[in-house]
């Protein structure tokens, strides 16, 4: 594990002060000191640096009770642009934000089944990034960076997608491949982290110390906010709850194990729940997860008993899995995020609440609220953009480490990327 240098701490403090200014503009140095726990002198220095960078501006004064008027600062929305990229199994979403993290442009590319070779994915990302920059009409020089979220385990330092079970990717040097098409600074992480940060800054985890952001898409995982900050684990791999065992000797998972949570509540798992219940159902769109989940949502709304049963069955698995997280982590809030949660919405949430109540211990359960993500845009793009912002605040120094050449072998090159046996 890397030890924090004084430069890392300075960058982290700068980021924390800017995060507070973005969340609470306009604000004073005194309020920033109170919110961050930093000294007023440190805050004043950091605010000066952010003013020099053009990321924030002075916006006047407020009266303080009896004392000298306090100078107010606010984020300089036009002081730069950030791009967030959400690479999922079935689509690529890209959004371009101003510095206040308002969306200025978005682009979407669909990925058909089987279209998951790295060069195909890179092509979609490059096209969509070009599209948002053109739509927003921003000069390239104003783009401070691009945050890229890709499913699975990633090495943030080298920009390598180490292991994406749904695509069978092993050690793909994704950022090096993207660098051939995209000239802006690139920063890699995964959707669990991106969703968690989005909720922490703008969503249901705002102001909460401990939160779990359950990401329900093709893949499944849990972004963890512990003690007010993002929890990454020692190798940036925390939150792989989708690959914890829910059913002993259960369904085969892409990771090589059996009975993983993901195989029951991820979109392909939900399709299997439907197929097992009603093999010939008109709700089932073979090979099309999005169409099937959409059909289930419409079916529930129309009172279709098969759709209602599938959502209930899915919620039973999900509720049992989330109860484990509640017993283990005792969070203030559990947020259901990503496209499956957004599509199935309140009916899924109501069933999950009931199932959780059957499995979680009463005391932690009563302390936990469970909600749908309130973020109206793609939370993964938003979170990915914050990674670009964090990267832009790093002092100029060594660039991203060059990814090691990929050994094209049939077995994973490094043991830590191998599927669990």
CB of residue 325 to Zn ion, shortest distance in Å: 16
Residue (186 or 253) nearer to Zn ion, CB: 253
Strands 220-226 vs 153-155: parallel, antiparallel or unpaired? unpaired
CB of residue 263 to Zn ion, shortest distance in Å: 7
Which of 237-245, 326-334, 343-351, 364-372 is the region at the interface with Zn ion (rule: CB under 5 A)?
Answer: 237-245
Which of 27-35, 38-46, 235-243, 368-376 is the region at the interface with Zn ion (rule: CB under 5 A)?
Answer: 235-243
Residue (25 or 244) nearer to Zn ion, CB: 244
Among 18, 200, 255, 375, binds Zn ion (CB under 5 A): 255
**Cα dihedral: 342, 381, 253, 110 (round 10):** 80
Among 10, 124, 193, 243, binds Zn ion (CB under 5 A): 243
Phi, psi values for residue 257, rounded to 5°: -90, 175
Using CB under 5 A as the binding rule, whether residue 152 contacts Zn ion is answered as no
Residues between 256 and 295 that touch Zn ion (CB under 5 A): 257, 260
| Sheet containing strand 229-230, strands side by side | 229-230, 220-226, 211-216, 333-337, 369-372
CB of residue 135 to Zn ion, shortest distance in Å: 38
Count of residues of this chain found to bind Zn ion when the rule CB under 5 A is applied: 5
Which of 26-34, 62-70, 239-247, 294-302 is the region at the interface with Zn ion (rule: CB under 5 A)?
Answer: 239-247
3-state secondary structure of 361: coil
CB of residue 257 to Zn ion, shortest distance in Å: 5
CB of residue 258 to Zn ion, shortest distance in Å: 8
Determine how many CB atoms are found less than 10 A away from the CB of residue 388: 25
Residue (185 or 266) nearer to Zn ion, CB: 266
Residue (243 or 316) nearer to Zn ion, CB: 243
Using CB under 5 A as the binding rule, whether residue 253 contacts Zn ion is answered as yes
CB of residue 284 to Zn ion, shortest distance in Å: 23
CB of residue 261 to Zn ion, shortest distance in Å: 8
Phi, psi values for residue 188, rounded to 5°: -110, 140
Using CB under 5 A as the binding rule, whether residue 222 contacts Zn ion is answered as no
Give the number of C-alpha atoms closer than 13 A to the C-alpha of residue 123, restricted to the C-beta side.
Answer: 8
The set of residues, in sequence order, having a beta carbon less than 8 Å from that of 169 and lying 6+ positions away, is 116, 118, 152, 161, 163
What is d(CA 27, CA 59) in angstroms, rounded to the nearest whole number?
9
Whether 344 and 300 have beta carbons less than 8 Å apart is answered as: yes
Residue (239 or 299) nearer to Zn ion, CB: 239
Residue (122 or 253) nearer to Zn ion, CB: 253
Give the number of C-alpha atoms closer than 13 A to the C-alpha of residue 204, restricted to the C-beta side.
Answer: 24
Which of 81-89, 230-238, 241-249, 341-349 is the region at the interface with Zn ion (rule: CB under 5 A)?
Answer: 241-249
Cα dihedral sign for 176, 180, 184, 190? negative
CB of residue 421 to Zn ion, shortest distance in Å: 12
Which of 86-94, 180-188, 220-228, 249-257 is the region at the interface with Zn ion (rule: CB under 5 A)?
Answer: 249-257
* Residue indicated by tokens 């963890």: 224
The set of residues, in sequence order, having a beta carbon less than 8 Å from that of 390 and lying 6+ positions away, is 11, 15, 187
3-state helix, strand, coil in the chain (%, to 5): 45, 20, 35
What is d(CA 391, CA 14) in angstroms, rounded to the nearest whole number?
11
CB of residue 242 to Zn ion, shortest distance in Å: 7
Contact residues for Zn ion, defined by CB under 5 A: 243, 253, 255, 257, 260
């Amino acid at each position: 594990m890397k030890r924090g240098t004084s430069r890392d701490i300075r960058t982290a403090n700068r980021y924390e002060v800017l995060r507070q200014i973005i969340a609470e503009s306009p604000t004073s140095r005194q309020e920033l000191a109170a919110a961050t726990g930093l000294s007023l002198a440190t805050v004043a220095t950091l605010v000066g640096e952010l003013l020099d960078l053009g990321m924030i501006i002075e916006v006047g004064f407020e009266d303080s009770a009896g004392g000298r008027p306090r100078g107010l600062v606010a984020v300089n929305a036009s002081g730069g642009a950030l791009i967030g990229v959400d690479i999922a199994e079935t689509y690529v979403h890209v959004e371009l934000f101003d510095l206040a993290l308002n969306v200025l442009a978005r682009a979407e590319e669909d990925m058909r089944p089987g279209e998951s070779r790295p060069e195909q994915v890179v092509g979609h990302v490059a096209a969509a990034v070009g599209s948002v920059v053109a739509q927003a009409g921003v000069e390239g020089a104003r783009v401070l960076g691009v945050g890229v979220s890709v499913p699975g385990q990633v090495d943030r330092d080298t920009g390598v997608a180490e292991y994406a079970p749904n695509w069978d990717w092993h050690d793909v040097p994704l950022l090096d491949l993207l660098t051939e098409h995209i000239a802006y600074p690139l920063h890699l992480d995964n959707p669990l982290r991106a969703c968690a940060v989005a909720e922490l800054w703008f969503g249901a985890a705002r102001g909460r110390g401990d939160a779990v952001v359950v990401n329900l898409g093709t893949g499944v995982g849990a972004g963890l906010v512990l003690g007010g900050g993002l929890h990454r684990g020692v190798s940036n791999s925390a939150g792989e709850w989708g690959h914890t065992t829910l059913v002993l000797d259960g369904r085969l998972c892409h990771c090589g194990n059996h009975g993983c949570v993901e195989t029951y509540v991820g979109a392909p798992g939900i399709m299997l729940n439907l197929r097992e219940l009603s093999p010939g159902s008109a709700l089932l769109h073979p090979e099309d997860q999005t169409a099937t989940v959409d059909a289930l949502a419409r079916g529930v709304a129309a009172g279709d008993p098969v759709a209602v049963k599938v959502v209930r069955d899915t919620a039973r698995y999900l509720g049992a899995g989330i109860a484990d997280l509640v017993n283990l982590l005792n969070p203030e809030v559990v947020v259901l995020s990503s496209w499956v949660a957004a599509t199935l919405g309140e009916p899924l949430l109501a069933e999950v609440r009931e199932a959780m109540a059957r499995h979680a211990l009463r005391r932690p359960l009563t302390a936990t609220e469970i909600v749908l993500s309130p973020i109206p845009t793609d939370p993964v793009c938003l979170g990915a953009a914050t990674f670009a912002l964090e990267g832009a605040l790093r002092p100029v120094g060594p660039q991203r480490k060059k990814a090691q050449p990929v050994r094209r072998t049939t077995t994973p090159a490094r043991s830590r990327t191998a599927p669990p046996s």
